[in-house]
Each structure stands twice: as C-alpha cells, then as structure tokens.
Structure 1
C-alpha cells in the first residue's frame, strides 16, 4: 500500500460527495494532482473545478488522464455509494492500484493528530462545523474535514499548519467512523437509521459503542445526556451536555430575541454568561452546547468562544434562509430523518408561532422511506401543509409498493399532496404561502434556487 509521502496523484470515484470533496481539497492543497469522476455536475463539483480539480461525468476509463494510470504513484479513493460494478472502479482494482474507501483515507490523513470527532445520527455536521469555527477563531486553531459547506469559509476543508487538532465529522454510514482514532469524541444521537446497512437498532447501538471504544487512552467522550453509552475503560473521561436534562455542559436562561437565541452556559470550567447565537433554531442551541464543550475541553478560552459564536454563519442547506421578506419566509434544510424534521419544524414554530407553515419534502432512499414512513408522517403533521416529491433513490433500486404516497396515507393532516418537480411551483402558489420549508437530502437542492427566483418574481408582481 502507498504511503502518503509516495503519492503524487489522487483519483476520486464519486468526487462530488461532501466527504469526498473535503479530502480532494486537502490533497489539492498539498500540491498533488487531483481528479475524479462523478455522476452529475453540481454546485460543489463546479466549485472543485474552479479550484483546479479535473472532473468528468461519464463512467469511462478513457477519460482518466494518463498520469492517474500509474499505480506506483496514484491513490484511488472511492465512496461506498459507488456500485461495485462501476467501470472505472473495476479498472483500478483489476490493475492492482491502491484503492481505498474515503473513510480509510480520512483515518490515514488524521493519524498522529489530535482528532476531534463528532458522531451521531443527527446534528454531527452542524456540531462539527461549529466546533471547527470556535477552534479556528481561537489561538488553538484547527484543521477540519466536514460534511457541509461552512458559510463563513465557503468550504468543507480547513487547514492550519500551526495546529495539531483536526475536527472530523464521524459518519456512521457503512461504519465509516470506525476508521478514526478520536482524542475527543462527541456523540449527539443514536436513533435508528441506515437500516439497509445495519439491519436493526441494536446493531446501530453496537457500532456507536465500538466507535466510543476507539477513543485514545487519555481522551474524552462528550455525549448528549440520556444516551445509552457505556465506556469500557477508565482512561477516558466522560462528560454530558444538554439544554433540558441535568448535564456537565448545560444551557440555561435561554431567550429568543429577534429570531436568535441567547443563553448562559454552566460547565466544569465555570459559567459563561451572555452567549449569543449567529444562526437561528432552538436545535442549534443544543448543537452549540456540544460544540462549546469540545472547544473548552480543547483549550479554547471562554472569551474566545463568546466572541466567535455569534459570528458563525451556519452551513449551506442547514436551516438556511433563502428569502426573508414581509410576504414570504423561505428556509431550506437538509433534514431527511423523522427526528431531524421534527426538530427543524419545532424550531420554525418557536420562531414563527402564528404563521402558516408549508413544507416541500423529498424523501431520501426507498429503504429509509419504508422503514420510517410512520415517523415521517408524524413529524410532517406538525406543519400546516405538505407537498411531497418523489423519492430520491440515490444508490438504491425501487422497492415495490414504496413511494411518497406511503407517507401521505399515514398523515393526519389532510392538506398533503404528492407533486412533481415540474408542477411544484404552481401547486405552491395555489394557496397562500407564509413560511416555506424545503427539506431533504436528495437533489431537491437544485430546485431551491429556482423556487427562490420564482418567488421573488411572484412577490414583485403581487
């Protein structure tokens, strides 16, 4: 297997994935040749191309440049979302290249550094991004590989040659996080998800506990209060965080002022008063408490945290305001699990308690829709009106009898309809819109800027 020092070129199969792109940016920053394949062109792949990374969009070995066909100096990185029969992936394997999963490469890069790993079925992207921002704005500094684009930095990769800390989003999909060696680890949630990989809730819990066992001796686990976490050895310190339950790191005096929350924080390091959020939603207060805990544990000073927190501008597609006018408020969010949807909708209701809420939701994966149809229905029933797009299949083939109609039939709300993307805007405008949310992890993000522009015209012509 190639050592980092021997690698001259890196080829990515599935380069447009959010985790893959962060690693691609790292190798490009290090001065290596970087190229790759992805199925479709997206905003993210266009950004990578603008940074000098070559990408093509057909599964065609002939489009792979010659310098990436030398197995003595080329590392091949792939995402598990790529099917095994993929032509380019098959080519590299048959030719004896060093072919590694994204998670294994992330473990290789972060080895020897103080890894701050954020895991959990929900919240990990926001918490890891907040954590990276708090470290970055302090004397401690950090490197980071994140699962979202931080609006402050317009990237998901941060570099700091003067810091030995690296903030990592520890993804449970395909057990990827088991390639990491955390010094600090945070665990935000252990709900059932990815049942196509794990099979049942018990197997998910076992994987998270195995991740906890990966924490280095002398390291720290910070987990949300109430999670069923067990630590097998005494060399690890354990702390909890919460905004509701008794915990080591806890927010109190939480106040909503002009759409943003302010709070005080109790911690083992003392009390920090007058913390102010820069992003909306009560769920982000809880995320901030976890991030602040990791920052304090890593040596970031309380005053540095107090100064940096309100400057955090959020993450692309995480409770992101697209329009905020007197006529219509339009928020876009990545939520694609029932618990995430519930948290997002409760946050919106807290900010806009008297407003009519319309949700456009694109379910992600046939298996997830099948396994959590009841949960999706219950969560979406929180809002006033729901428009469901067809399921985004991602890596999956259709499952007989599984469709967005499953969710619609289980909902108590009678104002629910399955619509096409082509008919979405007209259906939206057939009734009054006050608060609009677009939710989902598929390709609904392509509809968001289109809706935004159409709504601007709609408002101007009223």
Structure 2
C-alpha cells in the first residue's frame, strides 16, 4: 500500500480501538507514527512500546518537531470523537491534509481483496472469527478489528510471508456512516437493528444506510445476510452480488444439535458446500454460534478444509470484553461483556441462562450514551429483566452532553427482576461483597471496564477462600 507523497502519519485520537489498529498498520508499513489522545490507557502504553510518540496535551507546541517541518508530507488521521474546538484539530485543519479513519480504511480496502463485516452488533466477534479461521489455516490475511483478540493480543492481524494475495478483513462501522467509504469484495451483515439514532434520526434511515453499504459489494462477490437482518432490510434487495442467508434456524446456512455447556457450545454446521459435525466453540453464546456459521461459510469458500475449520473453531479464544469469562468456578462465575444495546444484552443473558440455568444471575450494567438510553429505554428494561438481580450504574456520556430527564433511573420501573438497585460506580464492590453473586455479568461500553480487573481479583480471592 502506498500513499503518494506521504512520509509520516499523525493520529488524532490514537488510543481509540479502530484508530490504534490503523496506527499499527502504518507503523508496520514503515511510516513514522505519532498521535494525540485525551488520557493515557493500556492501549496507548502498548503503542508507545511499539515505537509511536504519543502526547496527551491538546496544544500545537506538543507536536513532535519532525511532524511540523514539512506539513505536506504528513497525513493526519482523525476521528469524529475529537471535539470541534480541539486546538490540535483546528491547527491541523489549517495546515495539513486530514482524512477520517473511515476514509483511510476505505483506501486500504480499495487496494486489497476485502471482506467487510457490518452490523449493529456482532461485527467484532464475527470479523475476528473470519480472520482467525483464515490465519490459522495459513491464508495470508490482514484484519482491522474493533477489539483485542485473545489469540493475537491485538486489534490488528498481519499477513505472513505467503505469496498468495492478501485478504483484508475489516469491521464496517455504521457510526457516522463510516462503512460507506469501504470497497468490499465480500460483505456480512450480522444485524440491522436500530442504533445511533443521534446520527441517523430514525430506524428507516439507518436501514437505508445498510442498503447503501450492501450496494458497495463487488458484483462478482458475495453477501452474507443474517436471517433477521435480511427480513428487516427487505428480501428483494437489488444488488449484483450473490446473497447467502445464515442464522441458527435459517433455511440456508444454519446450525443443528446445539448443546450449551459451561464455557463451551457444541454444534453442527450445515452449509451448501459442507456439513461439519461436532464443532467445539469455546466462546459461549448462541449469538457466537451464529457468528461462527458465517465465518465457517467464508472460510470454506476460501479453500479452508474441514479439519482446519474444526481446529480453528476450537482454538479461537475470543475477543476481550466479548463474553469474556474471567472465572468459571461454580458459585463464583464472572463474565464481562461489551453489550450496550438491548439486543446484545438479550443475546448475552439468554446464553448465560442456558449455561447456568439453576444459579442466581446478577448483572451490573452501565448504560452508554444519553441518546441511546432515551431511544431504547423500554428495550433495555425488558432485556435486563432476564437477570435475577440488576445493578444499574449512571449513564456513561462518552461524546454527549446530558439530556434533561434522561437518566439510568428511567429504566428502573420497567425492569422486572427480583431485585434491582441504582448505585454509583464507586459503590459496586461494596454491593457485590454484600450480595455474594453466584453468576455475575458486567456489561457496558463505557468505563465499566475499569472495574473488571478489580472484580476479577475479588472473585479469585473468593474462590481461594471457598477452597481453603
């Protein structure tokens, strides 16, 4: 990949999961890389160890000198998460070439055979699974992911030294209509539920966004549609690419003989080109079985054989914060998940129920965004009601300002759990120590992840005490 005339790359918001994957790519390609982020994090620490200069001051004076001497040679990649009044953003806009992360990712997908995975949920796990099946089978694959894969401990997977043409797997993010910048040869739509209504305005408009994305698929390529997504988008989609339907109970690609066990789901894959029995998936969840179905179908199309698929599925360790099991000890189960949409919560908690049907289920949930909480309040209450005990935290605002009347409290009345409380994040550990949960699930896309190591350490100590 070449960017004519560009010798250095600077990232505004380099600590973001998507931005950091691109930063790693450019660093791997030999470009000097630097960037800014609001606060240090474990991820920015890793990027610094990989040789990138990162600043945490929003001042032009803090830009490394080598990135200021020849502005015309510097590409500045930015994310809409950067505030419009940012000193650095305004400085770069006056003197440099700026491109959004989605534009740069689009340029990369134009140069390679690309598989783009879209969906309001499921795209990180699905794209990671696709990349892992191809990579573990020896295929040359690069992947830009929206999470840290446990197998590779990174959000970027790089191709080996194979002489075959590289396949690029990317997450196609619907936020800010980013996915419309891509050039996919193949595409997956895992779900098309309403979300990001602050961007799209209404459900009909976001569905139109997905239809526009589908039109970008190469006419000689393939489109894989999850059954419910196909239903929502309309069965008479007019595109050139061949459509394949998949789903747990789809008439097309589907699963049979699903068995849910603690820490593992067993299933048979049934597709047009292969039937594979007795697959072991060690990232639990009915939704993950569904994600695996489309990953297997794509792998089969790219020449991955049955034994390689069986090995790849069994060896996949998942993505951090996607149904991540921190403790599987009976009576001290602890699972963490990124779920921040009602459908994601429903999928996760339904799977936990199937794994531990007789144990008390406690969920600690931090809503993400005022607009999302307002738009889907009823859905949040309904999905959280799958738990026996709900611990609700304050809304994590992210990029938003507060909206009058929109708080976590508006969810409480609709939650039909046996016990429900609304507490501050600093009260969680005290509450858990009093409650002593049997099966605990933490959920949310905000800073609830900062609690996870603390809860995991406490869970380990509980386990040791019970075994003593």
Report the TM-score, using the length of structure 1 for normalisation: 0.96
Distance in 1, matches of 2:120 and 2:320, equals 19
Q: Which residue of 1 aligns with 2:183?
A: 181
Q: Deviation at 1:224?
A: 0.7
Shift of 1:257: 4.5
Cross-structure match for 1:205: 207
Q: Which moved more, 1:165-174 or 1:296-305?
A: 296-305
Matched, 1:240 2:245: yes
The residue that corresponds to 2:143 in the other structure is: 144
Q: Is the 8 A contact 1:140 1:299 kept in 2?
A: no
Q: Name the CA shift for 1:38/1:449 in 2 (closer, same or farther; >3 Å).
A: same
Q: Work out which of the residue numbers 277, 280, 302 in structure 2 matches 1:276.
A: 280
Query: Following superposition of structure 1 onto structure 2, how do residues 44-83 of structure 1 map, counting pairs within 5 Å?
Result: 44-69=43-68, 70-83=70-83
Contact kept? 2:332, 2:462, Cα under 8 Å: no
Give the aligned partner of residue 397 of structure 2: 393
Residue 422 of structure 2 corresponds to 418
Equivalent residues of 1:362, 1:439 under 8 A apart? yes
User: For 1:418 and 1:135, how far apart are their aligned partners in 2?
Assistant: 44
How do residues 301-450 of structure 1 correspond to structure 2 at under 5 angstroms? Answer: 301-413=305-417, 415-450=419-454
Deviation at 1:190?
A: 0.5
Could you give the per-residue CA deviations for residues 206-225 of structure 1, whole angstroms, max 9, x where no partner exists?
00000000001201101112
Verify: 1:31 aligned to 2:30, yes or no: yes
CA contact (8 A) 1:117 1:185 kept: yes
Q: Does the CA-based 8 Å contact 1:149-1:316 persist in structure 2?
A: yes
Q: 2-side partners of 1:331 and 1:190: how far apart?
A: 26
Residue 373 of structure 2 aligns to a residue in which SS? Answer: helix
Superposed displacement of residue 440, structure 1: 0.3
1:414 is displaced (CA, Å) by 5.0
Match of 2:133 in 1: 134
For the 8 Å contact 2:263–2:282, the answer to whether it is kept is no
**1:177-215 superposed Cα distances (whole Å, 9 cap, x missing partner):** 000011110011110000000000000000000000000
| In 2, Cα distance between equivalents of 1:54 and 1:323 | 36
Aligned to 1:87: 87
Distance 1:400 1:446, change over 3 A: same
Query: Partner of 2:457 in structure 1?
Result: 453
Q: Across the two proteins, how many residue pairs are aligned to each other?
A: 458
Alpha-carbon distance in 2 for matches of 1:282, 1:174: 29
SS state at 1:4 partner = coil
Once structures 1 and 2 are overlaid, which stretch shifts more, 422-431 or 440-449?
422-431
Which residue is equivalent to 1:167?
169
Residue 132 of structure 1 deviates from its aligned partner by 0.3
Residues in 2 aligned to 1:310 and 1:276: alpha-carbon distance in whole angstroms: 5
Tell me how large the CA RMSD over aligned residues is: 1.6
* Distance apart, 1:258 and its partner CA: 5.2
CA offsets, 1:305-329, max 9 Å, x none? Answer: 1121100000010011112223411
- Asked whether the 8 Å contact 1:330–1:435 carries over to 2, the reply is yes
Counterpart of 1:231?
Answer: 237
* Equivalent position SS for 1:111: helix
Q: What is the CA–CA distance in structure 2 between the aligned matches of 1:67 and 1:408, rounded to whole Å?
A: 54
- Does residue 1:252 correspond to 2:251, yes or no? no
What is the aligned counterpart of 2:220 among 204, 218, 221? 218
Q: Deviations over 1:99-127 (max 9, x none)?
A: 01000000112212110000011100000
- 1:303 deviates by 2.5
